[in-house]
Amino acid sequence: MAQRWKITVEFDGRPFFGWQRQDHGASVQGCLEEAVRRFAQENVTVHAAGRTDSGVHALAMVASFDLEKPATAEKVREALNFHLKPNPIAVVKAEAMEGDFHARFSCIGRSYLYRIINRRAPLALDAGRAWLVMHPLDAGAMHEAAQRLIGQHDFTSFRASLCQAQSPVKTLSELSVTRVGEEVRIIARARSFLHHQVRNMVGTIKMVGEGRWTADDVTAALEARNRSAAGQTAPADGLYFTHAFYPGEEWV
């Protein structure tokens, strides 16, 4: 009988066309499935808690798959990491789970981090890992405006045109903005998100930080239910999937 495995994965999204397996380029899912095939000589589908876009990173993406080959958690982690080389993907943890666990369908919440480096100088170490914004940003004003988006709303104004979600209505539990030195950190948390929702929200509240918009402008954009009413789509560079929540974990 096959064993269901849960793995926690970090990756640098720059070399990949996102999480989902692609015919035209490398994907995180494809690399993981190939690593399983090399380790166990089994063809599996690796399901993720969320599907990241091209260039988006992960600190702790959760994925699951079934494996017939007997193995310990340590062996699964070490074998996958061996066969993932030289891809910038690391399995940081492997756990044997009951058969009803599913990385996506069992997930009750997802959290993202968006990093902005706010300075005039170019990025030497964080190029491709953060959004460089040269104009001064008021993180306090950004946080205040972000609170206008908390709760259950029709997020059509922050939804990508190719989004496949059946409904634009989502419940946003957290959208917080803090500054540590030159870095402005935005944390978004919800049960699920629309395609590009986080990046579109970031691009919108960034305009508040620049003094171009007010919190009332953010509310007006939300209520317009029109993508053209909101701000730009922030680059993928600064976005990180940080946590998948499951039953039994604290989730507000």
Binned at pLDDT 50, 70 and 90, residue 164 comes out as confident
CA 187, CA 29: separation in Å to the nearest integer?
25
**pTM, rounded to two decimals:** 0.95
Instruction: Kindly list the catalytic residues.
Output: 53
Q: What is the mean pLDDT of residues 233-248?
A: 96
Q: What is the 3 state secondary structure string of 4-66? A: EEEEEEEECCCCCCCCCCCCCCCCHHHHHHHHHHHHHCCCCCCEECCCCCCCCEEEEEEEEEE
Whether the per-residue pLDDT at 252 is higher than 60: the answer is no
Domains of the chain in sequence order: 3-97 (3.30.70.580), 109-245 (3.30.70.660)
Whether the per-residue pLDDT at 251 is higher than 80: the answer is no
Task: With beta carbons less than 8 A apart as the criterion, state whether 173 and 252 touch.
Answer: yes
